[in-house]
Every structure is written in structure tokens, then in C-alpha cells.
Structure 1
Amino acid sequence: MKKIRVAVIGCGAIAQRRHIPEYAVNPNVELVAFCDPIPDRAQMCAEPYSAQAFTDYEDMLREVKPDAVSVCTPNILHAPATIAAANAGAHVLVEKPIAATEEEAQAMIEAARRNGVYLMVGHNQRLMPPHRKAKEILQSGKLGKVLTFRTSFGHPGPERWSVDGRDSWFFRKDESIMGAMGDLGVHKSDLIRYFLEDEVAEVAAIIDTLHKEDTAVDDNAACVLRMKSGAIGTLAASWTYYKGEDNSTVFWCENGVMKVGTHPEDQVIVELRDGTVERYKVGAIATNEKQTASGVIDAFVDCLVTGKAPDISGEEGLKSLKVILGAFQSYATGQIVKLS
């Protein structure tokens, strides 16, 4: 089979640590081009694969004509880079959040549809083994209806992760648009939707910058969600968990409780009201310090090989983004926001 020719737009940390190495080991992929406004960074990524390096993605799309691209740019560039790639006939895997605004996301979805290409969003939390197992348990019905939940995602901040440290675009509001909520909160709004197979009906939030200096982006958020099913819960996103990164979710249900990511070895724990306790060792949730294969690259490539549309589609990315945008609206207005 002819290999899929893949280009990467944006050569920062997420590209270097996840996208590029996972493409490199996929037997169906040939990495053909890398684009970054910093020439040395693009060249550094390109050299191991005898690929071409560019500083302008329009030039790269025109000259290389890749089959597919990963968009790993600052948030503000997700829409223009994705739309340009789709217009060039390339399938797109875009990092989360899908876009900075609902209008941009809609334009990306329309560009993919118009050009007959796939658009997938990098919501890797759906693919982590503990989250897959937890979803399976919820679907089994043994816990009954989910009544309440809490989900949290926090780490010390992007300065520990980004290739540019404290000078990262994550802290520049004109490029990132949103901080911890765009970095981590949108992962959890997507995960709750995935777990519950339900949509968020209402959101209320407090979002602020508590500790990161010289930035206008949020470093903490606390949200209350009501699902269409009636279940209520909390969602927290933080860049100030300086000791003890957290990516956990707990569901309190009719027949017991399920804890996901709360124990270092038993990644999923089910405690039923009859006293039964089930513990599952199914593989760790990836962290910034301990990388595991995200599954996103393989899922994207599998769509291209099989012709099956991605489950984590542009439409799914938009729905998860709308929760976060609703949270910002809630904080700005002091009101509970109803989502359509």
C-alpha cells in the first residue's frame, strides 16, 4: 500500500513529543514536511526523516501537496491552517481546542466537508485505556444512572512543557485566546460528553488568573455543569497544581461510585453499594512527565487507511469547545449559561 504523506504544521512540544514520534512508528506513514516560523526548529524536525522544512504553511501545502497534516500551532492559527490544508485537499488532525471561536470551528468543519477530507480533533483523553475501561463500565449498566460527578485536570503549567518555557505562546492571549481552559478544561468537557454520551445543558463558572504573572490568560477555572440527562457535576482546570498533577474523574451513581485516575496502580475502581469492590489495572493515563502513546495518531491514520470517518470529528470538537466558551460567558456575565 502506498504510504500516507504527512506534514506537520507547528513544531513545538506537542508535535515533538507526540505527533512526530507516533507518526514515525506508524508503518502507513511517510513524514514529508515540517513547518514552523522558526526555521531551525522546522529543520531540526525534518532532518531525521529527510523531509522538507518550511516557515510558511501555504508554501508547504502548495509545494509538497501532503495527503494529511497535523496542525500543532497556537490556538489562533488552528482555523486558518486547517482551512488552508483542507482547501489543498489534505486531511487534517488539529490539536485541541478545535478553534478559538465557534464561528472559526464551523468554518473548519465546512472547509473539510466542501473538500471531501476528514477533520479530526486531538482529544486524546477519549483514547486513554482507563477512560476506555470506565466508559465500558458505564455502558454495562452495573452502576445505574450517573447522578453526580467531578472531573479535574491540572498540572504546573505550560512553562514546564512548552519548548519555549515561560516565553511560550500559551501565555500570550493574542495567540492562545484562552489559558488553562483551552489547554485542559476542553479536554474534560470532551471527556464528560464521551463518558456520559450526553450534552452539557447549562454551565456556570469562575475563571481567573491566580498565580501566573505577566499574562492575561486564565490559570484556573471551576465550573458547574448540568447535563441534559439531569446529572450535575464539577469541572476544574488548573495550571497551578505545582505538586501533584491530577487528571481524575469520579462518578456517583445509583448503585455505587466509580473512580478513574485517583489511584497510582488501580486506574479504575468501582465500589458498589452491596460492598463489592472492583479494581482494574488497565494502563496509565499519559502525563506530561510520563508519556505514553496517545492513540490519536494511530486513530487518525486508521481513518485514512480504512476510509472510516473519525469519531473525534470536527463536530465533536465544536461541541466540547462550546462548553468552554459558555463557561467564559458565564463568568463574564455572572449568569448560568444555557447551551443550545
Structure 2
Amino acid sequence: MNKIKVAIIGCGSIAKHRHLPEYKAHEFVEIVAVCDIVAERANGFAKVYEAKAHTNYEELLRDSTIDAVSVCTPNYLHAPISIAALQAGKHVLCEKPMATSRGEAEEMISAAERSNKKLMIAHNQRFVPSHKKARKLIENGEVGKIYSFRTAFGHGGPEGWSADGKDSWFFRKNEAFIGAMGDLGVHKTDLLRFLLGEEFVEVGAFVETSAKENTDVDDTAVCVLKTESGTVGTLAASWSYVSKEDNSTIIYGEKAILRLEDDPVNSLIVQYQSGEVVKYELGGIQTNEDGNQTSSGVIDQFVNSILHNIQPPVTGEEGMKSLQVVLSALESNETKRIIKL
């Protein structure tokens, strides 16, 4: 089987910690090019991965030997670069949030359809073992009717993770478009849609900047969400958690409560109505801490969809639905109304 020739556009932390090492580890992938506007960064990764360095993505996309690209740039560039790559005949794995508007997301989806190439959005939470197991338990009816949920994703902020620290694009609205809600919250809107197996129909939100200075994006958001069947719950996304990262989700059902990534040892704890408690050690969730990088599963899924010509598990349409919840949360905060999706 021929190896898929891959290029990475944007050589920041997500490329460094996830995309590059996971492509490198894949037996059917060859990293052939990297691109970053910071030449030093592009050259550094090019040397490590024996790839060609670019500082201009349009030049990179003219290389007809490249089969697929990862788009790991600041958020405002996700759509234009993804669309250009699809038009150039490349498969695209785009980081989240996929776009800064519904219109952009729709353009990305159209470009993928016209080019007949794969478009996948890098929502890695679907592939976390505890999350996959919880979905099965819900699907199998073991939890019964879902009454409510709460989910949180918070840490100390991008300055501890981003390649540019406190000077990161994450803090500039013209590049990031949205803060913690787009960085972390969109992961959880996607996870909840995946776990519950239904769409959200109403959103109310408070979106604030309370912890960070010299920024025009949000760092703390709390949303109330309602699904088609009437399940209600909360989602919190924050860059203001000064201690350990919180990446937990709790599902409250008729027959059981599921605690996901809520315990340091057991990644899933099921508390049944009968009093029985079942604990699962299923392996960790990805964190931003060095030395704690497990495989995200995203790269494997993307490559698999290309190799076997199947639909990727997180399509552009799926990415857009998860983005729409975040866009509605912003609208709710601005209008002080509950937004119907």
C-alpha cells in the first residue's frame, strides 16, 4: 500500500504535540512538508521530520504530490486554508473550531463535496475510551432515560500551552474569533452530541472575560443546553482554572449516573440506582501536560478514512453542528435571550 503524503500547515503546539508525532507513528503516512509563517519554526520541524519547509501555504498547496493536509493555524484561517486545500485536491483534517461562522463552515463542506475529498474536524473527545464506553452504555439502554448532564473543560489558559505563550493568537479576537468557548467549549458541545445521540435545540449562556488581562476574547463561559427530547444540562468552558485541568462530564440517567474523567484513577465510574458501583480504568484522556500525551485517535481515524475511502467519523457537517451550539451561546450572551437552534 502506498503511503499517504501529508503536510502540516501551522507549526504551533497542536501540530508539535499531536499531529506531527501521530502522523510520524503511522505506518502508512509520510510527512513531506510543513508550513508556518515563522520560518524558524517551519525549518525546525522540517529538519526533525525530514520534510520540506514552507512559509507560504499557497506555495505548499501547489505541490501535486501532497495527498492530505492538517490545518493547525489560528482559527480565522481554518476555513480559507481548508477550502484552498480542498480545491487543490487535498484531503483536509482541520483543527477545531472548524470556522468562525456558519457560512464559512458551509463553504468548507461544499468545497469537500465538489472536490470529492475528505474533510474531517479534529474533535478528539469522541475517541477517548471512557467516552466511547459511556456512549455504548447509553445506546444499550443501561442508563435509561437521560435526565440531565454537566460537563466542564477548563485549565489555566493557552499561555501555558501555546507556542507563543502570553503573546499567543488565542488572546486576539481578530485571529481567534472566540476564547475559551471556542478552544474548549466546542469540544464539549461535540462530545455531548456524540454521547446523547441527539441535537441541541435551545441554548442560554453567560460568556465573560474575568481572569485574563489584555485580551478581547472570553475566558469563562457557562451554558445551559436543551436537547430535542428535553434533556437539560450545563457546559462550562474556562481558562481560569488555576490548579489541575478539569475535563469531566457527568450524565444523570434514570437507571445510573455516569462519571466520565471525574476520578484520577477510574476514567469511568457507573453508579447504578441499585447501589452497585462499577469502576473502569480505560486509559487516560489527552491533556496539555508534557509527558502525558496519549494518542488522540484523530490522526488514525483521518488516515483510515482516506485509505479505505470511507466517511470520516467527524465530518464537516458534524463539525458545523458542534460549532453552531457555540455560535448560539455567543448570540445568547449578546442578546440576553435563549437562542433556538
Measured against the shorter chain, the TM-score band is over 0.9
User: Structure 1: how far apart are the matches of 2:166 and 2:131?
Assistant: 31
User: Does 2:223 align with 1:226?
Assistant: no
Per-residue deviation, 1:42: 0.6
- The letter for the 2-side match of 1:25 is A
Query: Which contiguous aligned blocks of 4+ residues in structure 1 show a shift greater than 6 angstroms?
Result: none
**Once the two structures are superposed, what CA deviation does each residue of 1:43-78 show, in whole Å capped at 9, x if it has no partner?**
111112321111110001113541000000000000
Identify the residue that residue 328 of structure 1 maps to in structure 2. Answer: 330
- TM-score (normalizing by structure 1): 0.99
Identify the residue that residue 16 of structure 1 maps to in structure 2. Answer: 16
- The letter for the 2-side match of 1:56 is N
User: Does 2:281 align with 1:314?
Assistant: no
Alignment of 1:202-213 (within 5 A): 202-213=202-213
User: Does 2:177 align with 1:174?
Assistant: no
Identify the residue that residue 162 of structure 1 maps to in structure 2. Answer: 162
Identify the residue that residue 70 of structure 1 maps to in structure 2. Answer: 70
User: Structure 2: how far apart are the matches of 1:135 and 1:334?
Assistant: 33
What secondary structure does 1:302 align onto? helix
Identify the residue that residue 90 of structure 1 maps to in structure 2. Answer: 90
User: Structure 1: how far apart are the matches of 2:36 and 2:236?
Assistant: 32
Per-residue deviation, 1:309: 1.0
Identify the residue that residue 188 of structure 2 maps to in structure 1. Answer: 188
**Once the two structures are superposed, what CA deviation does each residue of 1:258-302 show, in whole Å capped at 9, x if it has no partner?**
111111111111111111111111111111112110000011001
User: Structure 1: how far apart are the matches of 2:151 and 2:50?
Assistant: 43
What secondary structure does 2:247 align onto? strand
User: Structure 2: how far apart are the matches of 1:3 and 1:201?
Assistant: 43
Residue identity (%): 53
Alignment of 1:21-60 (within 5 A): 21-60=21-60
- The letter for the 2-side match of 1:87 is Q
User: Structure 2: how far apart are the matches of 1:295 and 1:65?
Assistant: 25
Identify the residue that residue 116 of structure 1 maps to in structure 2. Answer: 116
**Once the two structures are superposed, what CA deviation does each residue of 1:216-262 show, in whole Å capped at 9, x if it has no partner?**
00000000000001100000000011112100010111112111111
CA RMSD between the two structures: 0.7
- The letter for the 2-side match of 1:332 is E
Stretches of structure 2 that go unaligned for 5 or more consecutive residues are none
User: Structure 2: how far apart are the matches of 1:333 and 1:65?
Assistant: 49
Identify the residue that residue 294 of structure 1 maps to in structure 2. Answer: 296
Identify the residue that residue 277 of structure 1 maps to in structure 2. Answer: 277
Matched residue count: 339
**Once the two structures are superposed, what CA deviation does each residue of 1:77-115 show, in whole Å capped at 9, x if it has no partner?**
001100110011000000000101110000001001100
Identify the residue that residue 140 of structure 1 maps to in structure 2. Answer: 140
Per-residue deviation, 1:143: 1.3
